[in-house]
Amino acid sequence: MKIHHIPCLEDNYAYLIIDEGTGEAAVVDPAEPEKAVKAAQEHGVDLKFVLTTHHHWDHAGGNEKIKQLVPEIKVYGGSIDNVKACTDKVENGDKVSLGKDTDILCLHTPSHTKGHISYYVTGKGGEDPAVFTGDTLFIAGCGKLFEGTAEQMYQSLCVTLGSLPKPTRVYCGHEYTVKNLLFALTVEQENVKIKQKLSWAQQQLEKGLPTIPSTIEEEMETNPFMRVNLPELQEIVGCKSPVECLREIRQRKDKWRG
Ligand SMILES: [Zn+2]
């Protein structure tokens, strides 16, 4: 499989996923559908379906338009997420095939929205898998808990996504990496990996390049919300359990103005 970034709106990313053997493609969260259709044309591929992570307008807001532009297209979205123009509702564990060599597993990762889905994509070419995490897992951060609890976000980040193979590439919904790492440093001032990643991310942006993808392994090293199982982090934050620690860090982030 091949994956291409499609920058949308102010700081969103849609992604084009291509099954190279067949030239079939899927697009994740095409908030600006014309850009997705153009990217598919440029790569000479056939858009077969949309993978919607959640119902917010900057993710699902292009679904109706893309159905007009590509009438045969299917639109996947979480069964309890009320996704616009959804044709195929999915639940945790559902599988979708793209072309002949690319498989997509739907993972229910609630809390930002209650029906949020992350899409875990594997190819048969021996490349590392990829996961599209929308606004649940950001690079070095997580989404706001708009429709769920800290318990659910803990389950989504540290159990569901945290169980994926460590080399899995993480593609999230927004370019928030530098801000998130600056905040992460306020939580863990001595974390060298966070400092290193921050200077790398700043250089990427200066060159006009994305900071995405990351990997599950890098997130476990630098993302405070994925590190709440660590007793040393719980101690720094002053909490006694992973969920309490996640709740506390999320509250600090909500108040943080950078
Ligand atoms: Zn959102």
Q: What is the pLDDT of residue 125?
A: 82
Catalytic residue of the set 19, 29, 54, 108: 54
Cα of 202 vs its chain's centroid, Å: 20
Q: Please determine, for residue 22, whether its predicted confidence score (pLDDT) is greater than 90.
A: yes
Q: How far apart are CA 104 and CA 168, in angstroms?
A: 13
Residue 43 annotated as catalytic: no
User: Tokens 């801000």 belong to which residue?
Assistant: 179
CB 168, CB 129: distance < 8 Å: yes
Catalytic residue of the set 55, 108, 112, 116: 112
| Alpha carbon of 235 to ligand 1 centroid (Å) | 31
Nearest to 32 by CA among 53, 55, 4, 13: 13
Quick: pLDDT tens for 140-150: 999 999 999 99
Q: For the residues 236-251, what does the mean pLDDT come to?
A: 97
| Alpha carbon of 31 to ligand 1 centroid (Å) | 12
Peptide linkage before 242 cis (omega within 30 of 0): no
The reported pTM is 0.98
Q: How far apart are CA 94 and CA 98, in angstroms?
A: 13
Confidence class for position 217, pLDDT limits 50, 70, 90? very high
Q: Please determine, for residue 239, whether its predicted confidence score (pLDDT) is greater than 90.
A: yes
Nearest to 196 by CA among 188, 134, 249, 131: 188
Confidence class for position 126, pLDDT limits 50, 70, 90? confident
Q: For the residues 17-32, what does the mean pLDDT come to?
A: 98
| Alpha carbon of 112 to ligand 1 centroid (Å) | 7
Residue 174 annotated as catalytic: yes
DSSP-derived letter for residue 146 is S
**One-letter amino acid for residue 70 of the chain:** V
Q: How far apart are the first and last CA of the chain?
A: 38
Residue 2's SS3 state is strand
Q: What is the pLDDT of residue 176?
A: 98
Q: What is the pLDDT of residue 258?
A: 83
Residue 58 annotated as catalytic: yes
Residue 108 annotated as catalytic: no
Q: For the residues 105-131, what does the mean pLDDT come to?
A: 97
Quick: pLDDT tens for 48-97: 999 999 999 999 999 999 999 999 999 999 999 999 999 999 999 999 99
Q: For the residues 165-172, what does the mean pLDDT come to?
A: 98
Nearest to 142 by CA among 224, 245, 35: 224
Residue 46 annotated as catalytic: no
